[in-house]
Amino acid sequence: MVKSTLAKTWPLFLTVVMLWLKTYIVYKTSFDIKIESMMQEFILFINPLSFLLFFFGILFVVKEKRRIRLMFVFSIITSFVLYANAVYYRFFNDFLTIPVLFQTSNMGDLGNSAFELIRVTDLLFFVDILFIALVLKITKKKGQIATSMELTKRQKARYILIAIILSVVNLGLAEVERPQLLTRTFDREILVKNIGTYNFHLYDMFLQSKSRAQRAFANGSEFIEIENYLKSNYRKPNEEMFGVAKDKNIILISMESTQNFVIGETLDGEEITPFLNDFIQESFYFDNFYHQTGQGKTSDSEFLLDNSLYPLGRGAVFFTHGTNEFTATPEMIKEYGYYSAVLHANNKSFWNRDIMYQSLGYDRFFELNDYMITEENSIGWGLKDKDFFEQSINHLKSLPEPYYAKFITLTNHFPFELGEEDKSINEYTSNSRTLNRYFPTVRYTDEAIKLFIERLKAEGMYEDSIIIIYGDHYGISENHNKAMAQFLGKEEITPFDTVQLQKVPLIIHIPGMEGKTISTVSGQIDLKPTILHLLGIDTRNDVQFGTDLFSNGKIPLTVLRDGSFITSNFVYTKSTCYDKATGEAVDGTSCEPFMNKAKQELDYSDRIVYGDLLRFYEGNSYRGNN
């Protein structure tokens, strides 16, 4: 029976088996999926198969003569999906989602960054298709081919049955490994590990349509539960700090890809960030501050900063929900006489900024066209940071005061290109070109900020301004773990270390106040209430998930977008609880008390964004809930 089925359909089975094995090989070579047991390895191994059987099963319902051609089309589509994920993973350490594919206005600007990610050996991704074409050709010549691939009803039924059984076994094992896999998982790696990359894309399509429906069916009453949660999270401002920045200008500097590990660190005996190291001495420096961004990278960090809401688990909220109603800082502080602006020398539509900034209430966006850009003053992604700040001074001077101005730097962006004349620190030596080149560009941004601060002083603008400098997200992904371990003098980078590497610098400089290092566990979500309290604005009725960083009694919990979280003593990531003091895995009960709260936060925040719930919020109260 099996024999006769195979005799009739061997080209199909050859294709499916090769795609299956190829997918598994790609899992093991292109993705960094952490496997903790034989069972997990087994699930990973079988997980592409059920999808492939269903997908190629479609061939049995099309006309005989179309089958072979369609089989190739399917094979190319599947291989391409796999390949696209592999390329995306090389930089983002993440899997593609539908919203990411629709960020087309970003694509054109990626230029060199995208090319850096493509290799000649990538042709191997399609080698099985060539092989099958060749086999078909040879067998056809020899007249041995039986390519009608026609099965009897019984055989078809058996085929479907096998596919169903495989799916059930796969899902069953996955559910045992990871309960509530599909309902409570924010980490795509865990999803792919359990249901496979192809099923993951199907699931992603389901999420896409669900998120559309969510807005349509949302109503204000959902707010009551969320409001209670937010009220219990609220912490009173620190009296000594409340209002210290009243009517002062707020200057925010988002440092591209700058992680905290470079601060205070040296390379070949040279400080990597000499200026920031000094500036920290006269500022508040938060050395336990995490980025909480997802697929929207810089734009997610902006979203966190201005809204104190979490970005989304899939896609960039700047793209997916750019026209939602928000209660962002720029809009809120208008009432207090503030003018708000963003300064960033990139295309205005990148990350959908031009649209989103309107929703956030920004008064002015100084973008590409507001800068003089030449070949000499550009590198990599565009205008070099030093020239950017230099040219920005006049823009800043033109703003009505007080202002809230956000500067977004660019030079320290992957692939970290820099001309020799701008390098004032050596490259590192390791197997990762990316990490090697990171240090000169980080140093360059450090120098650019130094110049900017000097200019502010020279123009007499320094003393009137609160300066807030923060890193937007990681710059060195897990693909460079080996080199990173070498740099940090560690044997390896564990998932615990990876979470620790998500720390980014946060420096708050307030004129007239002395420097201090604050080590409370915190994240970008905390910036908005911190800033508003410094301005002397009450936030007790605001929709915000963060806490003022100067408040006494801040709950020591920071949740990352993939569901990992950090408390005073523990780190939870990839379903494992780690002791911060030792970095060793410990019994899960230590993380248990925060587990639900971490999920709850992400879930509530998502409900607000997907349901566009802020349209039901009026000033300091929710409609219908006074």
Residue nearest to ligand GP9 (CB): 297
Measured from the CB of residue 469, what is the shortest distance to ligand GP9 in angstroms?
A: 16
The stretch near ligand GP9 (CB under 6 A) out of 236-244, 275-283, 342-350, 555-563 is 342-350
Measured from the CB of residue 256, what is the shortest distance to ligand GP9 in angstroms?
A: 6
Nearer to Mn ion among residue 319 and residue 617 (C-beta) = 319
Mark 281-320 with x for binding to ligand GP9 (rule: CB under 6 A) and - for no binding: ----------------xx----------------------
Q: Is the peptide bond before 179 cis (omega within 30 degrees of 0)?
A: no
Instruction: Tell me what percent of the chain is helix, strand and coil, each rounded to the nearest 5.
Output: 55, 10, 35
Footprint (CB under 5 A) of Mn ion, residues 472-491: 472
Angle at 34 between CA 433 and CA 189, to 5 degrees: 90
Backbone angles phi, psi at 229, to 5 degrees: -65, -45
C-alpha gyration radius of the chain: 27
Footprint (CB under 5 A) of Mn ion, residues 330-369: none
From the list 96, 408, 525, 614, which residue makes contact with ligand GP9 (rule: CB under 6 A)?
408
| Closest C-alpha among 52, 47, 58 to residue 19 | 52
| Closest C-alpha among 357, 306, 308, 352 to residue 333 | 306
346 is an interface residue for ligand GP9 by CB under 6 A: yes
Footprint (CB under 6 A) of ligand GP9, residues 62-81: none
Q: Which helix (H) or strand (E) holds 207?
A: helix 197-217
The stretch near ligand GP9 (CB under 6 A) out of 79-87, 344-352, 395-403, 571-579 is 344-352
Tokens of 461: 């603008």
Task: Count other C-beta atoms under 10 Å from residue 7's C-beta.
Answer: 9
253 is an interface residue for ligand GP9 by CB under 6 A: no
406 is an interface residue for ligand GP9 by CB under 6 A: no
Asked whether 552 and 545 are in contact (CB, 8 A), the reply is: no
Q: Is 266 a catalytic residue?
A: no
Nearer to Mn ion among residue 92 and residue 229 (C-beta) = 92
The stretch near ligand GP9 (CB under 6 A) out of 32-40, 96-104, 343-351, 360-368 is 343-351
- Pairing relationship of beta strands 364-366 and 339-343 according to DSSP bridges: parallel
- Pairing relationship of beta strands 565-567 and 364-366 according to DSSP bridges: unpaired
Measured from the CB of residue 576, what is the shortest distance to ligand GP9 in angstroms?
A: 29
Which residues does 549 contact at the CB level (< 8 Å), separation at least 6? 286, 518, 520, 522, 526, 527, 530
Measured from the CB of residue 465, what is the shortest distance to Mn ion in angstroms?
A: 23
Measured from the CB of residue 508, what is the shortest distance to Mn ion in angstroms?
A: 20
From the list 8, 178, 188, 413, which residue makes contact with ligand GP9 (rule: CB under 6 A)?
413
Q: How far, in Å, CA of 299 to CA of 293, rounded?
A: 8
Residue nearest to Mn ion (CB): 298
The stretch near ligand GP9 (CB under 6 A) out of 268-276, 303-311, 408-416, 590-598 is 408-416
Measured from the CB of residue 595, what is the shortest distance to Mn ion in angstroms?
A: 30
Q: Token pair 């929900």 is at which residue?
A: 321
The stretch near ligand GP9 (CB under 6 A) out of 274-282, 392-400, 405-413, 440-448 is 405-413
Q: Distances in Å between the alpha carbon of 416 and those of 144, 283, 338?
A: 55, 28, 35
From the list 187, 256, 306, 367, which residue makes contact with Mn ion (rule: CB under 5 A)?
256
Asked whether 67 and 15 are in contact (CB, 8 A), the reply is: no
Partner whose binding site includes residue 302, from ligand GP9, Mn ion, none (CB under 5 to 8 Å by kind): none
Identify the active-site residue in 15, 78, 298, 573: 298
Partner whose binding site includes residue 548, from Mn ion, ligand GP9, none (CB under 5 to 8 Å by kind): none
476 is an interface residue for ligand GP9 by CB under 6 A: no
Amino acid at 575: S
- SS3 per residue for 241-269: CCCCCCCCEEEEEEECCCCHHHCCCEECC
Nearer to ligand GP9 among residue 365 and residue 439 (C-beta) = 365
- SS3 per residue for 530-576: HHHHHCCCCCCCCCCCCCCCCCCCCCCEEECCCCCEEECCEEEECCE
Angle at 64 between CA 63 and CA 65, to 5 degrees: 95
From the list 83, 242, 350, 403, which residue makes contact with ligand GP9 (rule: CB under 6 A)?
350
Q: How far, in Å, CA of 564 to CA of 449, rounded?
A: 32
Nearer to ligand GP9 among residue 383 and residue 534 (C-beta) = 383
Measured from the CB of residue 298, what is the shortest distance to ligand GP9 in angstroms?
A: 3
Measured from the CB of residue 365, what is the shortest distance to ligand GP9 in angstroms?
A: 12
Count of residues near Mn ion by CB under 5 A: 4
298 is an interface residue for Mn ion by CB under 5 A: yes
- SS3 per residue for 575-595: CEEEECCCCCEECHHHCHHHH
Catalytic residues: 298
Point out which residues bind ligand GP9 (CB under 6 A): 256, 297-298, 344, 346, 350, 408, 410, 413
Point out which residues bind Mn ion (CB under 5 A): 256, 297-298, 472
